[in-house]
Every structure is written in structure tokens, then in C-alpha cells.
Amino acid sequence: MALTRVKGRNPRELRPVTIERHYLKYAEGSVLISMGDTRVICSATVEEKVPPFLRNSGRGWITAEYALLPRSTQERTVREATRGRISGRTQEIQRLIGRALRSVVDTAILGERTIWLDCDVLQADGGTRTAAITGSFVALADALAGLVAAGTIPRLPLQDFLAAVSVGLVNGELLLDLDFEEDSHASVDMNVVMTGSGQLVEIQGTAEKQPFSREEMAAMLDLAGEGIASLIAIQRQVLGPLADQVGTGHE
Amino acid sequence: MALTRVKGRNPRELRPVTIERHYLKYAEGSVLISMGDTRVICSATVEEKVPPFLRNSGRGWITAEYALLPRSTQERTVREATRGRISGRTQEIQRLIGRALRSVVDTAILGERTIWLDCDVLQADGGTRTAAITGSFVALADALAGLVAAGTIPRLPLQDFLAAVSVGLVNGELLLDLDFEEDSHASVDMNVVMTGSGQLVEIQGTAEKQPFSREEMAAMLDLAGEGIASLIAIQRQVLGPLADQVGTGHE
Amino acid sequence: MALTRVKGRNPRELRPVTIERHYLKYAEGSVLISMGDTRVICSATVEEKVPPFLRNSGRGWITAEYALLPRSTQERTVREATRGRISGRTQEIQRLIGRALRSVVDTAILGERTIWLDCDVLQADGGTRTAAITGSFVALADALAGLVAAGTIPRLPLQDFLAAVSVGLVNGELLLDLDFEEDSHASVDMNVVMTGSGQLVEIQGTAEKQPFSREEMAAMLDLAGEGIASLIAIQRQVLGPLADQVGTGHE
Amino acid sequence: MALTRVKGRNPRELRPVTIERHYLKYAEGSVLISMGDTRVICSATVEEKVPPFLRNSGRGWITAEYALLPRSTQERTVREATRGRISGRTQEIQRLIGRALRSVVDTAILGERTIWLDCDVLQADGGTRTAAITGSFVALADALAGLVAAGTIPRLPLQDFLAAVSVGLVNGELLLDLDFEEDSHASVDMNVVMTGSGQLVEIQGTAEKQPFSREEMAAMLDLAGEGIASLIAIQRQVLGPLADQVGTGHE
Amino acid sequence: MALTRVKGRNPRELRPVTIERHYLKYAEGSVLISMGDTRVICSATVEEKVPPFLRNSGRGWITAEYALLPRSTQERTVREATRGRISGRTQEIQRLIGRALRSVVDTAILGERTIWLDCDVLQADGGTRTAAITGSFVALADALAGLVAAGTIPRLPLQDFLAAVSVGLVNGELLLDLDFEEDSHASVDMNVVMTGSGQLVEIQGTAEKQPFSREEMAAMLDLAGEGIASLIAIQRQVLGPLADQVGTGHE
Amino acid sequence: MALTRVKGRNPRELRPVTIERHYLKYAEGSVLISMGDTRVICSATVEEKVPPFLRNSGRGWITAEYALLPRSTQERTVREATRGRISGRTQEIQRLIGRALRSVVDTAILGERTIWLDCDVLQADGGTRTAAITGSFVALADALAGLVAAGTIPRLPLQDFLAAVSVGLVNGELLLDLDFEEDSHASVDMNVVMTGSGQLVEIQGTAEKQPFSREEMAAMLDLAGEGIASLIAIQRQVLGPLADQVGTGHE
């Protein structure tokens, strides 16, 4: 039996997406991204140093941190600061976000500085990690544009657009951009990160309930590609003229 | 030389205050409070148990947690989860918030349940702890009203309104509701928590640079009283009809 | 320029694989698996309880822990016990191992007990997480067979074989089962977990240096499938008669 | 009904106070202070460096640590070292002690060095934090006098005397210097830190059970002032000739 | 060249020893023991439960904790609570103290309760662990006598006296009860715990600088035996009539 | 009644001992030592720096870490990394191993570098700490020989052989090299570390159940001496020609 999506959403449709740019006063870049009821603040901070393994390399670094506000979730989530340690889930997500954004930055143009991407989830209704990646791209673009404007770096070190979305199999049906309820019934859950040119950056597919076939995987990738194209169109629109500088900085 | 306040604010004037009620979807009560550029999400969560020392007492508990988002501050603040421990400043603030709100709750009416108040600072431009108290009162009222509506408790266990504000001496001048810049130049900094009937609940005065006299203290308290009265007027307005049930639940 | 593999290995060839069964005296199941110079001890422990979220569900749980011995690596790796916290990489790997093995266990047959899979890497020359999954399957089979032999559970709750392997793109060439040196030069790195019937359980593909196309992904999956089929043949041989009971326990 | 104080003590009377100077062999300054059954060892240690934020400032730092011995309390208190973290209460107290003592030190005369004040409570019968402040002043004076004697600093950088005491409202009656039993019945509890010239340095008033009026607050401050004057008289006597150098070092 | 001991002490002589009984108001047993400048507070706390491995065994438990006050040492020692973890040295010492005292307690008479021995070092001039054992015996005797007096247990469960002392080889000379200075020059350091009947309970000998012979070991044991006999004579005197009940409780 | 040892072992007999040299590919020295069913991997790592207290001393350092694999034990042992802290037992053992090995190294010849000895127990059937010492000696010799071969240090800085063994009293009988079962029934347990010339380096004797006499101690030491002589014969054989360089490097 097919599942009826909230508010009559089509299986191949994204939830309503908004990206509010310049959301925070102090950060070098920041957005509030909403995908349906999922809301994430993404901020970008420039730090004038790099981790030890990059010192004297001439290259920069992009890293991410991710956290849930306690009442972003249906049941209150205990703060990781209170438990004194960061969960495996959180670490997995922040490693994913950092790795994904790094893939479209020319770190030699960035030079020996680090961009910190902080993704704080105000409300978690599924797809927080993919929303965090899509939103962080815009915050990152603003932070990097600030470095260009200040003359610190010669040009925007973004080689391409980047966005992410989830797809899944729920009751045998292929769905785009799963909300929390859908995700908890999915037999397969896949997060896909792609560039503006449609290349893959990261794919993480997990059989939550039963293994899946090569054919199902291909169909999920097709659908993810459509969703990501839509998200990148929104990023372009939000960034306005800055969008045109993305991908022009290749050496 | 007298200090000129941002945007021509009068020394005895609050910054613009807004309290956005029902800010989060899942929490039993929640607000986004803004005082100037200081913005804090306050959420209230109901938990059906109490700490060990209250078991079988018939009484409830109010507790608070407080955190800064990394880019709420001018320089990025390292997450306490990352450092693995909660700073002294944070613990002091969350103990203050919990203690203050507890003072206006009739915990026998509440019964053996805990209300968690989570105060997450999106932007920190001075006065985050007092904004957290003022905002938490509204979130708490909504969470308690929900318990009344569900028939879980017989009536609203709020004995009075409660709000907080900072006052200080800056370059010899008495100022209400200090922003970050003013606070960092204050010779005396005082946080005051008062009820709707003008009684004191908490007073914390600290000579940051030089000791202060009894007369200066009295003047600071007068000014704090004015500010708190204004804040409580805003709480009343935001709460609408619910405001009338505050203070009627005395046994 | 094509890379010459160590010892003239073919790009589509696994390293020499051995699985030494019953490696530890006390564990309910244990192996030492070697894939080339990568050596991992996998042990399976039966515990007669389940995590809180499964209590009274009638279902069991499979969980994994993973660690590097300090001198499994070229440079000595600081113990996580000494640092007092488990790294993001370790948590990601142990979540992956547990999730993968869980996918072929009928946890209703297992009943309310937990199998702990401990994967301790003696020597790390690439592919430790995939070796850990392949080896853990055998240790798990022995631990489960022990429960059947003791009459604790009615039949072997393994629904299918399971193994894992890495594939990657190195200097534009597709390679199976990357060693450490190859892995550090890979532009794309993919870990694949599959069942005996060739279904996908987990796929994690990461563009380390540059994004990859849908075609490259398909080719990598083909190659991974071949490698996994070879690994499962080895598991079958090592398990002997016990292999025949795998997949026969469906309800 | 009025409360009868232990040993017929007058409501406006301190408990018996003794300050045993030079209590520890190795510390640069140390006392054992007793206020009734409350006993605290205060030691002062000179360290030839300052925290990062004061480097190259020419200014010194005063900081404090506080701990309860496990059997200082009626029930054994678990060590914070065993729990692996410092409680909110402890952090609040050690921040208070450090801030209070800092207020009477001319840190430019002290130069770039830190004085550590360690306050270890042997027996806790109420008022440990105020006893710690009063005792630390004497230990600090000795440590600073040692620096003057060694020619390390030109003169005693103490600008004034400093002591602290608690006051409270218990069953409607105003009491000075509450013991543990009185404190646990107090409706208002206030800790006051004052200088030799009667100026306020810190005031922390908390309504434990019910809010208090401005008039009650004024009466509590009057009583605290009397108690602090008595404590400073004892400090003067204990310090002997050194007392005359306090407050003479202003620039 | 022979070393001249402080204050003309003979190589085979203890430092002046005092044991101040009933040192703390709240503890069930407590002493301040001084051996020369080494001073340790030992307190005994009765807890009406045992660790999990003794539940339903009918037997009690003796455990110990040990800590240095920050300025017990020549250089200030950082608190273990501040570092967030207990050092190897501390753990080794507290395990030794607990094990030693346990050896003379008939835990079946004690019944299912735990005695906590807290050893807090006020001043550390060598031999703190042996002083802690010798002092803890007296605190333990008082706590156990309290249980007898209250009718909780039938008779004193102490099977024998117990004390400890250090011996060492310094510049080739055999010394009893080393102070800090002597200890830091010792080539061999040995801690010995013995009963009133001269039996060995624990011996820990370490070649700090060079290995030692069987003959040297025998001579060190002889000297330790003399010192321990003197310490037990002091324990007997301090305990007065209670001393006569030690060793009479055998079943 | 005398205890019958496993496999008819004589009370004064070691279990079968094997030392497999060069067990790990990357470590500068490594062995797998087996004593009966006890199996420990010992690896030696050279690090070109020393702890702070040795900087500019011209001297090197030897330190050790020790861990149990989770299923080295009959019941699964929780990882210390998971618990977030290292147990007292582990710290005691690693301090013992480091101290013991240090006693035969001329740290001036070693120069300002550290040798890390990692002892990871694959299987724990009693005597893991003594096996770790005996095995570490061989791993250390190989690592040091590597430094000589590379011309980094002028000659082998090993002053003597070193091995360790346990002895104990079980049911009144003196036993050498206790296995887990014997150890858990021992009334006295003693670990002894000796050099090739029969000198004592460390002796740790503990009365687990009842105190022991001087005569019993002498007998235990005699037996330990015999066992250690046998172990050193095996070390000599395993090391081959390298054995002849031990003890020739005295200055």
C-alpha cells in the first residue's frame, strides 16, 4: 500500500525549501535553511590557521561541527556537552559535512586558513545532514567572498556548486527528501551529495531493513540527482551575482 | 565623559524587545526572545519524573540548561561538547535560571514532574542570562498551561510573573540593559530578578573594576525595577488571556 | 601512468586471504583474518541481555567495537583509552560493522540477547573495516552455532552470507581491495557490503580528490561484487558443514 | 517563633573565629580559618606566569580553587576527581573567591605572575565560601609580603582589607553568619563581600523559599557590614605589623 | 659518604609520630597522623551497602581514596579533579591502602557494608602512603567500634593490628622512614605493611637506581619490622581500652 | 589437599614458553609471547622526544602501556576507551612494566628519545604482567639494536637481561608461574622481576587471604629466581647473536 505524503507531496518532490542568508550578525557567513519543518543554522567562521598536518603546505582546510538543540527533536535530546562526549552519529555527520564541502574548494587558493562550518539544528524533521550540507554551501560562499572582498585571497575558491538530499525506499516506493516519519519506515536510506555538474561526491546507502538490488540503487541515484539540481537552482537564486563566480576560479 | 548609547538609546531605556511564542514545533513551550541583537531560544520540556532527592515528595522540579551557539559571539566560541566539559560560567548561568524560575512555581501543584528549560543563545550581545530568564518564563507558562489543558494538573502553578534585567555603572553613569560593549566597560555589573509584585528573587552585584557604595546599589535596584516592570508588561501582552491565570493558583 | 601493484597483483585481484577460525580460547566465536598484511582479530561474545530500546521486544541485537593496536600502524597510534575518547573514525567504523552484520541476522530467532563483535586490528595495511566485516561474519556464525548446539535458540538465525571489500580509483585505474599505499593515492574510495545473493547492504563512496561519474560508480560496484563473491567462497570453505545452515532458517 | 541559636549565640553575632597563620610548611602563604565548626585551609601559591589573555599586559592574576574533603560533610561527599568533573556549585564558589580577592589587588604592582588560592574545607558547617574569602585574604597577604621581602615586587599590592560573611532570613528573623542548620531553613540567603572601607565588592542574594523586599535587603546589608568589620579587625590582629602596609601601595 | 639525617635522626629511627584521634566532627572515625612533617587526615565512613560483586555474600568491604592537597607539596600539585582524571600513582596508592586494611578485617562480622577510608595529605614530606595506612587503622577501629556500640555488629572485626613504614638504601646506607629528601636519593625504596604479630601483608620493593641483592632485602625487612612494632605501640596507646578488643573477635 | 596442576605440571615448573620475534611489520621491535594460554603482543616504538622533565638532560625514557583485548578474558572485559578512563589495575601494571625495563637501560647511551612498550594481551590466563615484562625485553632489544644499526646510538644500552615471573602460595603449596585458576585460589601472590645476574629489580608480594611469614617469603623468592633464570635462557636463545651484546655497553 502506497504511503500518502504529508500535505499531498509527490513522491519525487522536495519539501518547501528556504535559505535565509546573513542570518547571524557576527559570522563571516550564515544561513537559516528550512526544508519543510527541518531547520538548520549554518554558519561559516574563518580562522587564520590550519591543523598541524597542513602547516607549511600552503593549503587550507574546511571542517564542520553539527549539533541538535535539545528540543529540535520530538523527545528532548540530552546535550552532548552534558554527557561529556560526542556521539558516534554526530561525529559521522560532521565528518561527512566537512568532507563534502572540502571537495569543491580549491584549498590552494584558500591558503593556510580554516573555515569552520557550524550546523546547529533548530528543528529535526528528517534530512538534517543533507540540509546542513546544502545550507553550509551558501554560508561558505559568503565567507569566502568576504576573503576575496578583503583582498585576502585572489578569487573565489569554489570549483562548483554542491548540495545533498536523501532518497529512500518506503513500502517499496521510491521517495525523495524523506521526513522523519518516512525515514523511520524506510527499508533503504540513501544520502547523496552531488556537484552542480552532476558528479557524485558522496553516496551512503544503507539497507535498514532488507538488502537492495543494483536496479533500485540506480533509480535512487536518478531521483537524488533531480532533487539536487532543484536545490542548486535555489542556491543560485539566493546567492545572486555571487553565484556567477562559482567554478570560475580554476587554476 | 558620558557614553553615547547605540542608536541614541536613553540610559534608562531597554533595547527593543520581542518575544516570539511557539517558536519550535515539538517543545511543550518555546519562544525566541530578542533584546536588541541578543537572541535566545527558550524551550520548555515536561518530563514525568523528578531528581532522586524529590522522589515521593509530591513536588516537582524546574531546571535549566544554557548554551552559546559557536557563532553567537564575535569570536567563535568552542562548543562545550567538544571540550568535553561545561564551563564554570555556563554552570553558574544555568543554576541561576533554574533557581529563578523555581521561585514562582508552586511545585506541589506541579506534582512529581520536571520542567527542563533550554536556553540556546543564537546571538550574544550582552544580557543573555537575563533574556533567558525573561523568555523562559513565557515558555514555562505555555508548558504548564498545556498540563492544565490536558487535565494533568488542576491549575496553573505560577504564583507571579518573573523577569530579569542587567544594570551597571559605566564611566560613572547608571545604565539599564547593557549591551556587550557597555558591559565590557562597566565598573559594576548587576543582574536582578524580580517578580510581578516587585519583590526581589535574586540579586548578583559584582564590582568588576572598583567597589561600590550602598547608595549606588540602591540606585541600580531602582532602575532594574523599572526595566523589569516593562518586561513583565511585554510578557503579559504576549501571553494574552493566559496572563490572567498567573498568580491565581495559590492554595 | 598505471600503478604497479605490490607483488604483481592484478588490478581486479584480492590480496591473499586467510581466516583462522577458533583463534581465541574464551570467545564464543573468533577468527584471525588476514588480507595481505592487514590482520584483524574478530571475536563474538554472547550477552544475555539487550539494550533498553529492545527490552520486551523478543528481538536480539548485534553490535560491534573496533580498535587499532598502537603499532598496527606505520606511526604509533595513541590509544583511545589514553586520550579518553573514541575518535569519529572509530565510531563510524564500529557503527558500520554492527549495522552490516545485523542485516543478515533474524533477530527474532536470536531472541533477547546481544552479540558483541570485537574487531581488534593487529596490523593495518588498508581495508581494515572490510576485513573486520568479513571476519566477523565467521566469528558470528560460530557464536550463533554455539547457541543452537546448546539448545538456546532453535536454528541458525543467519539469513545469508555477508562480506565486504573496498574498491577505488587510483590514477584513473579501477582497483580491488586497496592496500594502505593505494588507498592514500585514491581519488575515489568505496566500501561495499554485499550478501551471498549479491544484494547490496551498504555502499559508502567518497570522492577524496575529485567527484566521480555514474559510470565510474557502476564499474566500481561490478568489481566489488566479484571480490565479495570470492570472499564468501572462502567463508564457506572455512565454515565447512556449518555453511550449509546459513540461509535455511527463514521463518 | 524565634529560632534559638546554638550555644546561645545572638542573632547579630559571629561564631567564634580563629585564623591560624603559616599553617602549611611549603606554601608561600597559608592559614587554617575556623568559624565555629567550619574549618578551611587557605593556601597561596605564587606562579611566575599568567593566563594567555594577560601575557605582555604587565598585569598579574589571582585565581582560586575550592574543594570539600569527603568527610567535611555530614554525609560523605564523593570526590570531584572520582566523578571526573567539577560541580556547578564548586565552580561558582571558586569563581567568586578569585573575583573577590582580585578586587583589592593592584595587579600592575604584582606584575605578570599568578597567585593561586587553594581553599580546602576540612569541615563544612555553613559559610564555607565566606570563610574561604576571609582566610584567603591573610594567606594572600603573606604570599605578597614574601614577594616584597624577596625584592621581586616593590611594595604590597593590597589596596584594602577584604572579608565576607553570610546573612539570612530564618523564620522571619535576621541572622548573621548562618551555620549549616540555619542555612537550610533560611528563606533568604545572602553572601556579602566588603572592603575595609565598607564598600561593596560582591553581593549575592537568593530567595530560597520566597521573594524578599527592598527593606529586608537593606537590613541584611547593614548586618553583613557589622560582621565584616569584626572579621577585618581579626585579620588586622593576626597580620600584626603587616596589616599597616595594606592600602598604602596605591600609585 | 654517609648522609646526615635531619635533626640528627638515627638511621634506624622513626620521625616523631603523633596520631590525633577524633579529628573531624562528622566522620565515624578520623585521625590526623603526623610523621615528622608528613601530615595526613584519615577518615572512616560507614556505608550501608557493598559493591555489586559482594551483594548477597554476607561480607563487607574496605576501600580507600587518597589525595594530595595542592600545597601539600613543595611545588603546587594540580588537583586531579581539575585534570579530570586520577593519576596512576594515586590509584596505586589507594588500592594498596584498601588491600592492606582489608587483610585484618573479618568481613563476615562486618556484614554487607563498606568502610570508606579517605586519606587526604595536608603535607607531604615522604612516606604519605605508609602514614595513611597506619593512621587509617585507628580511624577504622573507631568506626568499627561505633558499629559495635550501636549494636549493628556483634564484636570488633579487627583480627590484628596493622601498620606500615618505608625503608630504603640511600648512598649504600640502610634508612628507616625516609623523608622526601632521602627518598629522592634512594637507590632502593621499599614499603612494608605488617601485622601486630609480625606477619607480612604487603611488600613492595623497587630498585629506583640499581638492582639489589637478597641480603639487602633481608636487612631492609628486619629494619621495617622494628619500625612497624614501634608504630603499633603508638596505635595501642592512642586507642586505649579499645586496643584490647583487637584480635579477640576471631570466629 | 594438594592441588593438581593442569597437564600434570610440576609445582616448580614454568608453563610452555614461546617468544615469536618480529611479530608485527611496522614496529621497531615486537614479539608474541606465550606462557601456556597467556598470550601477549609486546611492541617497541622509538620516538624522538622525551617527557618534559627529561628535556635537555641528555637521557632517554622507557614507558609502557598495557591493555586487555575484550575477549582475552573468560567474561568479556569492557574496553577502557569505552569507559573513558584507564583502571587502577591497568595503570599499576603499565607503571610496573616501564619501571622494570628502565632499570636495565643506560638512558644516557639511549639519548633523548623514548621507547614505548605496548603490551596487548590477546589471551589472559594468569601472569599477563610478568609475561609482558619478559616479552618486552626482547622487543626492546630489537628496537635498540635497530638504533645501533642505524648509527643513531653508539652501542646497545642494555646493561643486563631482565625477566619476571609470579610465584604464590596456593593451599599451602608453593607454586611457580600461576595460571588464572591457581591465582584466584592463592593466599599469597608475588610478582618478581630480576636481572640476568640474579639481582632484584622489583618485588611485589600481597597477602590476598592471610599474612605470610619471612620464611615463606624467602622460599618464594628462591623459586622465582629459578623460573626467571629459565626465562632468560629462552630470551638468550631467541635473540641469538644479539644476546651477546647485552651487558657489554657499560661506560
Record the cell numbers describing residue C236, joined without a space: 564457506
Nearest CA in chain C to F86: C81
Alpha-carbon span C247 to D29, nearest angstrom: 76
Q: What is the per-residue pLDDT across E59-70, written as a single tens digit (0 to 9) for each?
A: 999 999 999 999
Mutate to test the interface with B, among A20, A30, A49, A76 (most CBs of B within 10 A): A76
Q: Does D236 touch chain B (CB under 8 A)?
A: no
Mean pLDDT of chain D: 94
Q: What is the per-residue pLDDT across C187-212, written as a single tens digit (0 to 9) for each?
A: 999 999 999 999 999 999 999 778 99
Residue B220 has pLDDT above 60, yes or no: yes
Report chain C residues whose CB lies below 8 A from the CB of A207.
103, 199-202
Alpha-carbon span B75 to B73, nearest angstrom: 5
**Mean pLDDT, range C216-225, rounded to an integer:** 96
| Cβ atoms of F53 and F170 closer than 8 Å | no
| Cβ atoms of C167 and C223 closer than 8 Å | yes
Q: What is the per-residue pLDDT across F183-213, written as a single tens digit (0 to 9) for each?
A: 999 999 999 999 999 999 999 999 977 899 9
Would you state the pLDDT for residue E249? 55
Inter-chain CB proximity D207 and B103 less than 8 Å: yes
Per-residue burial over E8-46, b = 16 or more CB atoms within 10 Å of its CB, e = otherwise: ebeeeebbebebebebbebbbbbbbbbbbbbbbbbbbbb
Phi, psi of F165 (to 5 degrees): -155, 160
Nearest CA in chain E to F91: E88
Percentage, residues of chain D above pLDDT 90: 90
Adjacent-strand bridge partners of B212: D200
Q: What is the per-residue pLDDT across A43-78, written as a single tens digit (0 to 9) for each?
A: 999 999 999 999 999 999 999 999 999 999 999 999
Instruction: List, in order, residues 6 or more apart from B244 with CB less than 8 Å away.
Output: none
C219 min Cα distance to partner chain A (Å): 12
| Cβ atoms of B213 and B207 closer than 8 Å | no
- Local structure of C194: helix, strand or coil: strand
Residue A118 has pLDDT above 50, yes or no: yes
Alpha-carbon span F247 to F251, nearest angstrom: 10
Query: Which candidate from B26, B80, B123 shows the least CB-CB separation from A71?
Result: B26
Q: Does D215 touch chain B (CB under 8 A)?
A: no
Alpha-carbon span B68 to B63, nearest angstrom: 17
What confidence category does residue B85 fall into, taking pLDDT thresholds of 50, 70 and 90?
Answer: confident
Would you state the pLDDT for residue D249? 54
Residue F62 has pLDDT above 60, yes or no: yes
Alpha-carbon span C202 to C99, nearest angstrom: 9
| Cβ atoms of E183 and E166 closer than 8 Å | yes
Would you state the pLDDT for residue C1? 43
Q: Which of the other chains make 3 or more beta carbon contacts under 8 angstroms with chain C?
A: A, F
Q: What is the per-residue pLDDT across A150-190, written as a single tens digit (0 to 9) for each?
A: 999 999 999 999 999 999 999 999 999 999 999 999 999 99
Query: Which candidate from D88, D206, D214 shows the least CB-CB separation from B91?
Result: D88
Residue B134 has pLDDT above 80, yes or no: yes
Residue E132 has pLDDT above 90, yes or no: yes
Q: Does C209 touch chain F (CB under 8 A)?
A: no
Q: Does A128 touch chain B (CB under 8 A)?
A: no
| Cβ atoms of A29 and A141 closer than 8 Å | yes
| Cβ atoms of C192 and C199 closer than 8 Å | no
Residue B108 has pLDDT above 70, yes or no: yes
Report chain A residues whose CB lies below 8 A from the CB of C195.
211
Sheet with A200-207, side-by-side order of all strands? A173-176, A162-170, A186-195, A200-207, C200-207, C186-195, C162-170, C173-176
Residue B210 has pLDDT above 90, yes or no: no
Alpha-carbon span E139 to E152, nearest angstrom: 18
Inter-chain CB proximity F200 and E210 less than 8 Å: no
Question: What residue ranges in chain A does DSSP mark as E strands?
Answer: 17-21, 29-35, 38-47, 61-68, 114-123, 162-170, 173-176, 186-195, 200-207
What confidence category does residue C162 fall into, taking pLDDT thresholds of 50, 70 and 90?
Answer: very high
- Local structure of E131: helix, strand or coil: helix
Would you state the pLDDT for residue D251? 43
Inter-chain CB proximity C43 and F74 less than 8 Å: no
What confidence category does residue E1 fall into, taking pLDDT thresholds of 50, 70 and 90?
Answer: very low
Record the cell numbers describing residue A239, joined without a space: 546567492
Nearest CA in chain B to A75: B26
Nearest-CA neighbor of E67 among B87, A83, D77? D77
Only one residue has cell 625584592, namely D151
Phi, psi of E67 (to 5 degrees): -150, 150
State the sign of the Cα–Cα–Cα–Cα dihedral C48, C49, C54, C56. positive
Would you state the pLDDT for residue A8? 86
Q: How many residues does chain E have?
A: 251
Nearest CA in chain A to B74: A26
B7 min Cα distance to partner chain D (Å): 31
Residue D75 has pLDDT above 70, yes or no: yes
What confidence category does residue D105 fall into, taking pLDDT thresholds of 50, 70 and 90?
Answer: very high
| Cβ atoms of C9 and C15 closer than 8 Å | yes
Record the cell numbers describing residue F146, joined without a space: 635497530
Residue C246 has pLDDT above 60, yes or no: yes
Record the cell numbers describing residue E31, joined without a space: 585521625
Q: Does A187 touch chain B (CB under 8 A)?
A: no
Inter-chain CB proximity F25 and C125 less than 8 Å: yes
| Cβ atoms of A93 and A235 closer than 8 Å | no
What confidence category does residue A209 fall into, taking pLDDT thresholds of 50, 70 and 90?
Answer: confident
Q: What is the per-residue pLDDT across B223-238, written as a single tens digit (0 to 9) for each?
A: 999 999 999 999 999 9
Phi, psi of E8 (to 5 degrees): 60, 25
Q: What is the per-residue pLDDT across D128-159, written as a single tens digit (0 to 9) for each?
A: 999 999 999 999 999 999 999 999 999 999 99
Alpha-carbon span C214 to A194, nearest angstrom: 11
Report chain F residues whose CB lies below 8 A from the CB of E213.
199-200
Alpha-carbon span F40 to F123, nearest angstrom: 7
Q: Does A20 touch chain B (CB under 8 A)?
A: no
Would you state the pLDDT for residue A123? 98
Only one residue has cell 601456556, namely F36
How many CB atoms neighbour CB A238 within 10 A? 19
Say which range, A219-228, C83-92, D170-179, F55-64, has the weakest mean pLDDT: C83-92
Inter-chain CB proximity E43 and D120 less than 8 Å: no
Alpha-carbon span B180 to B38, nearest angstrom: 9
State the sign of the Cα–Cα–Cα–Cα dihedral F186, F187, F191, F194. negative
| Cβ atoms of B139 and B238 closer than 8 Å | no
What confidence category does residue B2 fall into, taking pLDDT thresholds of 50, 70 and 90?
Answer: low
D99 annotated among ligand-binding-site residues: no
C128 annotated among ligand-binding-site residues: yes
Percentage, residues of chain A above pLDDT 70: 98
What confidence category does residue F251 fall into, taking pLDDT thresholds of 50, 70 and 90?
Answer: very low
Record the cell numbers describing residue D156, joined without a space: 604590597
B136 min Cα distance to partner chain D (Å): 18
Inter-chain CB proximity A91 and C88 less than 8 Å: yes
Inter-chain CB proximity E76 and D116 less than 8 Å: yes
Question: Which has more pLDDT, A93 or C7?
Answer: A93
Mutate to test the interface with D, among B87, B91, B158 (most CBs of D within 10 A): B91
Alpha-carbon span B148 to C125, nearest angstrom: 63
Alpha-carbon span C23 to E244, nearest angstrom: 58
Would you state the pLDDT for residue B1? 44
What confidence category does residue E251 fall into, taking pLDDT thresholds of 50, 70 and 90?
Answer: very low
Question: Which has more pLDDT, B39 or A2?
Answer: B39
Q: Does D142 touch chain E (CB under 8 A)?
A: no
Q: What is the per-residue pLDDT across E86-130, written as a single tens digit (0 to 9) for each?
A: 888 999 999 999 999 999 999 999 999 999 999 999 999 999 999
Record the cell numbers describing residue D76, joined without a space: 560523605
Percentage, residues of chain B above pLDDT 70: 98
Mean pLDDT of chain E: 94
Rounded to 5°, angle at Cα A211 from A206 and A215: 95
E43 min Cα distance to partner chain D (Å): 7
Q: Does A45 touch chain B (CB under 8 A)?
A: yes
Inter-chain CB proximity E205 and F206 less than 8 Å: no
CA of residue B4 relative to chain centroid, distance: 27
Query: Which candidate from B88, B200, B218 shows the least CB-CB separation from D91?
Result: B88
Inter-chain CB proximity C65 and F79 less than 8 Å: yes
CA C248 to each of CA B29, C44, C244, D36, D176: distance values in angstroms, whole numbers, following the listed order: 53, 21, 8, 78, 81
Report chain A residues whose CB lies below 8 A from the CB of C65.
none
**Mean pLDDT, range A8-22, rounded to an integer:** 96
Only one residue has cell 504564583, namely B159
Alpha-carbon span F121 to F222, nearest angstrom: 28
Inter-chain CB proximity B199 and D206 less than 8 Å: no
Mutate to test the interface with B, among D75, D103, D209, D221 (most CBs of B within 10 A): D103
Instruction: List, in order, residues 6 or more apart from E198 with CB less than 8 Å away.
Output: E225, E229
Sheet with C114-123, side-by-side order of all strands? C17-21, C29-35, C38-47, C114-123, C61-68
Inter-chain CB proximity E211 and F203 less than 8 Å: no
Report chain B residues whose CB lies below 8 A from the CB of A65.
70, 79, 82
Per-residue burial over D165-187, b = 16 or more CB atoms within 10 Å of its CB, e = otherwise: bbbbbbeeebbbbbbbebbeebb
Percentage, residues of chain F above pLDDT 70: 98
D83 annotated among ligand-binding-site residues: no
Query: Which candidate from C73, C82, C116 shows the least CB-CB separation from F26?
Result: C73
Q: Long-range CB contacts (< 8 A, 24+ apart) of E86-92? A: E86/D81, E86/D82, E86/F88, E87/F91, E88/F86, E88/F88, E88/F91, E88/F92, E88/F94, E88/F95, E89/F95, E90/E66, E91/F87, E91/F88, E91/F91, E91/F92, E92/F88, E92/F91, E92/F92, E92/F95
Alpha-carbon span A202 to A130, nearest angstrom: 11
Would you state the pLDDT for residue C2? 52
Nearest CA in chain D to B204: D204
A29-35 and A17-21 beta bridge pairing: antiparallel
| Cβ atoms of D149 and D28 closer than 8 Å | no
Percentage, residues of chain B above pLDDT 90: 90
Burial (CB count within 10 angstroms: exposed 0-12, middle 13-18, buried 19+), residue A2: exposed
Only one residue has cell 570508606, namely E116
Report chain C residues whose CB lies below 8 A from the CB of A205.
200, 202-204
Inter-chain CB proximity E200 and F202 less than 8 Å: no
Report chain A residues whose CB lies below 8 A from the CB of B125.
25
**Mean pLDDT, range C232-240, rounded to an integer:** 98
